[in-house]
Amino acid sequence: MENFTPISALIGGALIGVSASLLLWLNGRIAGISGIAGGLLSPSKGEMGWRALFLIGLVGGVAIYRLAGGELQSIQINGSIPLLLIGGLLVGLGTGIGGGCTSGHGVCGMARLSPRSIVATVVFLGVAAGTVFVTRHVLGWGAMS
């Protein structure tokens, strides 16, 4: 937590909340990224435009931040390509089984006090914590130096 910046975290969280609320109020849709991206793979009439714009805005926000003079931290990925692909497939499988992802359940569902979303978010976080523990402390992979 040496790089924690509470002001930018608060602003970012508020922007996510406002964006999710606007999508729900104006479009009647939940801002779950896996559902939005998955809808592009099997498009319904009238669905492609807003889904594509949402994902473009998600990526475009980083570009706007950089143009405004914001600095990005460097990211180093130590996993092998096959391991990353397997992880991505497992995440996709998990979001399908769980009926959504952390943005849909954790941000939108919990804000609506959905019991299903609260349970899903607790499970997501518990599995994530367990995965970090096993990979770092049991298997010794990716231990921080």
Dihedral angle, C-alpha 75, 80, 83, 87, nearest 10 °:
10
Q: State the pLDDT confidence band at 118, using cuts at 50, 70 and 90.
A: very high
Alpha-carbon torsion, ordered 104, 87, 60, 101, to 10 deg: 0
pLDDT grade, residue 144 (50/70/90)?
Answer: low
Q: Map out the domains of the chain as residue ranges.
A: 78-145
pLDDT tens, 51-80? 999 899 888 988 998 899 888 888 888 878
62-90: buried (b, 16+ CB within 10 Å) or exposed (e) per residue?
eeeeeeeeeeeeeeeeeeeeeeeeeeeee
pLDDT band at 18 (very low <50, low <70, confident <90, very high): very high
Q: pLDDT band at residue 1, thresholds of 50, 70 and 90? A: low
Averaged pLDDT score across all residues of the chain: 87
